[in-house]
Chain A
């Protein structure tokens, strides 16, 4: 029975004859022309060569003339000719002496073709048996081969035995079979068609296939019939619908077709059972799934790929035969026929579409290995899928091809593949010959119209050239390429049985029932020609009615009559999809054309006809998607836009009578295929930027297209390019949210089911595609959760089913679903942009976290429980385990959103990094259940050896340890929880050796416990438990510390222990700083332990363990350390601070310890240096080992650091105090201290401390300092003995650093600051004490010594001058300093600029000058000041004047000495400016002013020396920065004048300067930066001014305030005139320039808003543009500045009342900008105030425009609720009756209501 839709056949002969004719016709040889080998033929492998041989053999065979069917041949030739333009066939024939029939038989029997050829050759083609014998002998390579041969031999009684009888005769004799075929096929056709059209549900398809399988063997036992049925299933053109299960079946049918009816039934049964598994795993390897062939093909000596290829190829051969028959018999019917059998339709594995090349390769026997590619689908349910895993990797290469990122090799793939593909297609006609070798004929033009047509369409034009010409070679190449990418698979295919998934749990709940019903259902469905969706209830399968009627009828209004409408709409949708594709393809074919010239034309020819074809002849209704389509005008337009095809193409197609609907549809698919091919082949180099943009644009516009669901679904089902799948999923996701309100809820539900099912059925999807699809599901769920349409529960139900399946793969998927849900609901950053308000996101999250999240957690815990009970987990299981563990971690790390948190806070909240677990009350039962906690402890114990999983489980524990908040009903619960947790933790830790990977996790757990649980709770747990917890903490800290030290020695990249150690030390800090809950000394013992272990780790052997690796070997590093590396004191500051703190806690132990260690090291250092000195002075070649010294230095280095951190805190900006613990310690021991001895010890750094009598009765704190001074003294003496070479600059730095830190805190202690003060300390370091004076003198001496010795060590010199500055920065100390003779020496030395001070690095010199100035003005005594003046400042001035006033200065100015002198002076000036304080500003300013004026002259002279110019500007900057705020009006004016002159000179000089270097570094713009800084500093006078009374200058100022010649505004505006043109957008990319620039223009706008409108037009414009730019596209800091600038501008404008001014217009523009920013965009909270201010002023200015904006915004709201809310909000914001004015009160009110406004509707309009 043939369906009505079948066009009447024009051929009257019987089918058999027809078949024969076609077959013969195809045998007609085709003359191949020259080969053009473009693809890497040099990669050929021997195997490939053999394949070529085989192919050639086939060709010869084909060349046998068949005179019988003359007319047909003629027709065929014609067709061929018509195809010629598309194919430059070429090739040469070689002959191989192999009996072709035998070969074919062998191959049919399952032998590897190449093996068969070899066997035949070897046996001289005597007989099949001989060949088989040979093969079995050759089979030694694989022991299984023999078995296979045996099988073949056995079966040969059936299939091979009667060998003269090959398939052909049987086919020819099988009218029956054709009949069967028709009967079967026709009804199936509809089914297939509907499925094909847009088969939405795999399950359905599967079922359909199943039905056939059942029917076919049962009713028609004739093997031939089965064959034909099979054949019908497999035309390449149809090979688009992925349904592997059918594939399997199909091949099994083939098997049964061999005449083993009994077996066939059996097989079918098997299939059915297997089938269920398949429906889940879906994409089982199409190739390997044929059991029959597989078995036979084991002969292939491990070349499974070959055999696999054979299997498929063979089926394709059959299919072709039938196709032909169809074509000839019923010309119109061709496609329907081929499509007719659903099994076929779906049979083609997914690869076919997704990866065209692999598909085609697979059909070509000569490209055996390529099939590896095609079988990317690893299969879970498939018995024969063992290959798959191996294949996955290679196949990815081709599959993963991103549209744009393709490496060149992939192009090759592509090019190669297509020929092979074409091959298979072309060969389809030849397959009447029972030899698969027939396929090999690459260049035979197929007279088969369907195929040829398809061929034209399918084959990408660019490829055709190659493909036609040199298929053989390219085939070889194909092989080669594959061989490269794929691993040879040697294991037997059949041996592994992968656990079969249970589909019933994997699919939606409705599925199981459905699966059973399917068989019967199908028959009905088929007869009715319509299918109601069987699988997913929501899926509607539309009856396919192939008439024009429906096409014409106008689309009824959506969404009524979905069923009828869907077709049209679907069709439209498809055509849209096609258009999109064509578009994209266009882009890609462009690229193709570049490489292969000829292709262009061809591509046009081939692609053009498609459109009319589709348009004109496609009457078919493509089956519907569950989501209704709304016809939209755009689509119609697009349809009509399609060009008419060229006459040639028209003729061609007419001749071919290709007007079949199905085929049209196929063409679409083919085009899609082509598109994807092209997309995947375009390498980055071939895609121009424009093309890329175009392609991007297409994808983007595709995403925006309306109701793309059907298209997307279609794409999902058919496409094989992952990127396309990804895009489709994205599009669905976006569209569903966009059109949510318009969609039927049931459609959404079914869409969700579809997506879920889709993923479930395709376990082999690329991860990112799968995640994206699941994301879409999650988004749907999330969106649905708002209006309660879609409840999570249903999903959870499904998921729990999946989980209970016990199948790891399915469980993994379930986990993915949950993860997607979790991340979609979790936080605003991870959430996808779905165009919904932040408020929505927030409320979704709240809803979710209350219930659904808990459900997820419960599910997860259940799974974990299950896993933790199991004994042995295999790899797969444990990976699932891991995923669930990670999921649990994700849940526990959930950032619980407290109720009623504003939008801004949400953003802030979400951004916090370390989330502590603060669940809501509803979680109480779930989380406080101690079994949960125990579970995680158990889990960790179980998996702790696996570092990845251990991290997750420990993170879970850490989260559980951080639990706090409302979940605890009372303190008791918290105490119980904590106690239980600590118990569990101790149980877990005790007795195990902690793995590296655990360290960080465990320290996190500890640290969370300590930081999150209140002290009161900590102390409330049983004291024994608590103390063992603290003991454990101590133990861990010590051992982590040791391991951390070891890590350092080994120089590991990943310092896990260091991290863990830091964390624990931090916890200690938290613990010990609390003195309320723990009694004094509670932690002392622990502190001692930790401190000791730290010291031990940092000392060299024998006391310490530094640099000792585990095996006791010491390592020394002599490597280069660059200056960039941070000093230890910075790098380990946190650690050291903690250790210092612990040291203070245990001061009784630690301070004496440090003293003894330091004194010991000093003695040793002294001795060692003496030995070195003797050694150096004594004659002798050898040198002493430096190791001893280095060890000593390193010891001292660490001891100094620890001592420094212990004795003093690092204070910034506050007065440093002696730590109370230290003070207490000193006081405690004061009674037993002999002060005199103490002072003696302190005052004799040159002597050994222990040599002083009574040294045991000294104050330890002082003695510790004395110990450091001893180190310093040893160093000083060594330098005096010229041993500086031996000294360590590092140690010198440490000493300076320590002394500076100490000086700040201890020197001249202010007794008023302390409750009680230790007598020894105040005696030794108090004000007016000898000790203090002595120390100052000693330090000064040290400084001077250092400055002369360590000139070349910049860091050390810097530390030294920093100590000097510290000494003089407080007046009390400075007064002591200037009493020293040394000080004056230093000053003189510096002033005379004599060596060595003048060699100091410039920054050191500057600081030194600063120190000198600070000290000089410290004393009130005028005499001292005068002395200072004459000794320090005057010489400087004198020298400078001498230099610049010399007559020939112009000539000598470039001389090095002069330049050095000038630069030194300028540096000194900077230093002087830096030293400005309010009490010295008067003198300093006058002093500096003289220089400034001279400097301007220098600007001119040194204009070619940018360094000098910059330095000059810097002097101005410093002066302005430090002094202007103190300057009185007249002084300030002087400065302004000077600056103005400077700017003038600068502008003159920089005018001609070109800054052409685009890639210029920031420092090249230093001058610009400095100028801007200068201007900003000048402006700062306007709001920071300490000079209002001019007190400072009283007496010296004549004071003519009215006579203002220059104002700051003049200077600044002049400066802006210079700077603005120089600033370009590029320069704004430099952060420093950008910030400075905006700071400047904001200042200007704020301070001189009235000057802005007076700016020249160009300047004004660029200023406004700068503001806009800064507001919109810079950092929030910059946009805040810009907003702040707007307010004064608008105010000025309002005052000026000039409606026509450009500023007025500009402010209008800014109103909109600010409005958008405030209302519509996400902006950081701190901007709201600035923006509000600006907004209000702007609103005042432009009230009408504001109303307009509000109106526009309101009118764009469709949702009445939102509209109302917005309108109300605006009303309350600005709805008051009085018009807004610039009145302050009103403004404040506005700002207040703006906050409410933002809280109310801000989240509403701000979308993500």
Chain B
């Protein structure tokens, strides 16, 4: 891995992003567009003139804000790809609009806001209904957000 290990963070010393050749990106993968971590929803290539080199045209959706970003770059160039992790936590409570989540190893974190919009409502609803649910939390580039709900599966 990296030579200069960063001991301040807990994550295996990996940086938040890593470079990748543009041509190696694929649809449904992640990429950083205009500084935001995005999921690639559309990719096409083109070239300038018949003998030009390929350029990659990407359309991505911000994984947190769902905003749309576009970029075009030569396929030989390197682009940054965010390290995205996805974790499921058990929801144990909602306090002041913040989620109380328990990790698999029993740690509780309460730093995640209840998502706005439909997802937030559904979480609230299900929580109120007393359902045991898991919250899927996506994290990338030091940002985290709840992005989905799951039934508790019997482990």
| Chain A interface residues (CB < 8 Å from chain B) | 1116-1123, 1189-1190, 1193-1194, 1197, 1285, 1288-1291, 1351-1355, 1399-1402, 1454-1456, 1504, 1506-1507, 1552
Contacts and interface: CB of A to CB of B under 8 A. Distances in A.
A1117 B49 contact: yes
Contact of A1291 (B28, B51, B81, B136): B51
Given A1120-B46, A1123-B46, A1190-B51, A1352 B22 contact: yes
Contact of B54 (A1193, A1194, A1352): A1352
Given A1190-B51, A1352-B23, A1123 B44 contact: yes
A1121 B48 CA distance: 6
Contacts of B75: 1352-1354
Contacts of A1504: 86, 136
A1189 B49 CA distance: 12
Contacts of B50: 1117, 1121, 1193-1194, 1197, 1288, 1290
A1352 B74 contact: yes
B18 interface: yes
A1587 B50 CA distance: 50
A1518 to B, nearest CB: 19
A1455 B85 CA distance: 6
Most B-side CB within 10 Å, residue of A1194, A1352, A1355, A1402: A1352
A1291 B14 CA distance: 41
Contacts of A1289: 47, 51-54
Contacts of B52: 1121, 1288-1289
Given A1352-B21, A1352-B22, A1456 B47 contact: no
B95 interface: no
B151 A1552 contact: yes
B125 interface: no
Interface in B70-97: 74-76, 81, 83-86
Given A1194-B51, A1197-B50, A1352-B54, A1401 B23 contact: yes
Given A1351-B24, A1354-B54, 8 more contacts: A1116-B49, A1117-B49, A1121-B49, A1352-B76, A1399-B21, A1455-B83, A1504-B136, A1552-B151
Interface size class on chain B is: 20 to 34
B63 to A, nearest CB: 14
A1351 B75 CA distance: 9
B26 interface: yes
24 contacts: A1117-B50, A1120-B46, A1120-B48, A1121-B46, A1122-B44, A1189-B51, A1193-B50, A1193-B51, A1194-B50, A1194-B51, A1197-B51, A1290-B50, A1290-B51, A1351-B24, A1352-B53, A1352-B54, A1352-B76, A1353-B53, A1399-B23, A1399-B24, A1401-B24, A1454-B84, A1454-B85, A1455-B85
A1290 B76 CA distance: 16
B44 A1118 contact: no
A1532 B53 CA distance: 47
Contacts of A1194: 50-51
A677 to B, nearest CB: 49
A1401 B151 CA distance: 37
Contacts of B85: 1454-1455
A1321 B45 CA distance: 41
A1036 to B, nearest CB: 29
A1123 B48 CA distance: 11
A1045 to B, nearest CB: 15
Contacts of A1120: 46-48
Contacts of B18: 1456
Given A1194-B51, A1289-B54, A1354 B21 contact: no
Interface string B24-37: 10101000000000
A1289 B47 CA distance: 10
Nearest to B44: A1123
Nearest to B27: A1507
A1129 to B, nearest CB: 12
A1288 B23 contact: no
A1552 B133 CA distance: 14
Contacts of A1399: 21, 23-24
Contacts of A1402: 26
Contacts of B22: 1352
B151 to A, nearest CB: 7
B15 to A, nearest CB: 11
Contacts of A1354: 23, 45, 54, 75
Contacts of B136: 1504
Most B-side CB within 10 Å, residue of A1189, A1288, A1506, A1552: A1288
Contacts of A1118: 48-49
A266 B87 CA distance: 103
B146 to A, nearest CB: 14
Nearest to A1124: B44
A1350 to B, nearest CB: 9
6 A-B pairs closest in CB distance: A1288-B51, A1352-B75, A1352-B23, A1352-B76, A1123-B45, A1193-B51
Nearest to B21: A1399
Contacts of B47: 1120-1121, 1289
B86 A1351 contact: no
Contacts of A1123: 44-46, 54
Given A1122-B46, A1399-B24, A1456 B84 contact: yes
Interface string B123-149: 000000000000010000000000000
Contacts of A1121: 46-50, 52
Nearest to B150: A1552
A1123 B83 CA distance: 29
Nearest to A1506: B28
B30 to A, nearest CB: 8
A1117 B52 CA distance: 11
Most A-side CB within 10 Å, residue of B47, B76, B83, B136: B47
A922 B53 CA distance: 65
Most A-side CB within 10 Å, residue of B28, B44, B50: B50
Contacts of B23: 1351-1354, 1399, 1401
A1155 to B, nearest CB: 23
A1594 to B, nearest CB: 43
Contacts of A1290: 50-51
A1194 B51 CA distance: 8
Most B-side CB within 10 Å, residue of A1116, A1194, A1197, A1455: A1455
A1462 to B, nearest CB: 14
Contacts of A1401: 23-24
Given A1289-B54, A1504-B86, A1351 B49 contact: no
A1504 B52 CA distance: 39
Contacts of B46: 1120-1123
Contacts of B24: 1351, 1399-1401
A1758 B24 CA distance: 72
B83 A1456 contact: yes
Interface string B96-108: 0000000000000
A1559 to B, nearest CB: 15
A167 B26 CA distance: 91
A1070 B151 CA distance: 69
Contacts of B48: 1118-1121
Contacts of A1116: 49
Nearest to A1193: B51
Contacts of B84: 1454, 1456
Contacts of A1285: 53
Given A1354-B23, A1454-B85, A1119 B49 contact: yes
Interface in B53-69: 53-54
Nearest to B18: A1456
A1742 to B, nearest CB: 49
Contacts of B49: 1116-1119, 1121, 1190
B52 to A, nearest CB: 8
B50 to A, nearest CB: 5
A1507 B74 contact: no
